Amino acid sequence: MFAPRLLDFQKTKYARFMNHRVPAHKRYQPTEYEHAANCATHALWIIPSILGSSNLYFLSDDDWEAISAWIYGLGLCGLFVVSTVFHTISWKKSHLRTVEHCLHMSDRMVIYFFIAASYAPWLNLRELGPWASHMRWLVWIMASVGTVYVFFFHERYKLVELLCYVIMGFFPALVVLSMPNTEGIWELVTGGVFYCLGMVFFKSDGRIPFAHAIWHLFVAFGAGTHYYAIWRFKCKKGVSGPGPVSVPLPKCSQATSNQVSNKKFIFMEMSDPSKHFGSTVCPLEATGAQVLCLSRGHVFG
């Protein structure tokens, strides 16, 4: 349906790399070549996803960012791990029908949670409107509904299943695109384009050789693009420092008791004034942008 007839390779020399298509209610059986490709194309990204997720966690500045990094990392790593385990069992231990069936269901379920986890940094760490803020929990309800659907209707209505993935992928994106902070939006859109292009191959088993493995690659490219957007945002945030306050730093001199008592100061919480400014505690008007560092006893101004 999604792949045009001109992409049908059944009558070409590449037909030996794939089996014939199956009816919509049945599962496609890959060839040995396709089994190997299905395993490799997601196993390759397990270690990078673990390292990348750990990197985001260590870049976190507070508990909320750390939680978002954990959620995103678990979704990212879980996708590649579950997919690799399922395809390996399906290839080498296909006689374990019950185990294979459960893993296949898990492979489909984890996609919903991966989509929800992918939006966690965007929805949790950026400013949202009063209505848009509901998407933070609504996306997890959608993931739960998708999981229940897979449990009861696995492999019965494949087109409905695909539409569920598409709706869940695009619905939260509408909220993200409406955010005042548009940084990283182009990377988010580019990642979405990778996923959409990959869907052409997701439902082309038996028509295009290695179709499912190609789908895996598009998923990896999309996930990598989204990761880059989050990582880039975190790094730039770390360089520029949190908070909207921007005060030039003149020479620092030790504050005496007379200086402190005779001047007006902007009191700010900070551990190292040479790196960044934290939140303003008492926004008093100061002459010459004089700043008192409570932790160091330094006066700037």
Binding site for Zn(2+): which residues? Answer: 87, 212, 216
User: Are the CB atoms for 202 and 24 separated by under 8 Å?
Assistant: no
User: How far apart are alpha carbons 208 and 51 in whole angstroms?
Assistant: 33
CB-based burial label for 277 (10 Å; 0-12, 13-18, 19+): buried
Tokens of 138: 């609504």
Helix axes 46-58, 211-240, angle to 10 degrees: 20
Tokens of 242: 């949190």
Would you give the distance in Å from CA 45 to the centre of its chain? 14
Helix axes 63-92, 32-43, angle to 10 degrees: 160
User: How far apart are alpha carbons 182 and 240 in whole angstroms?
Assistant: 17
| Rounded (10°) CA dihedral 259, 260, 262, 268 | 120
Q: Which residues contribute to the annotated binding site? A: 87, 212, 216
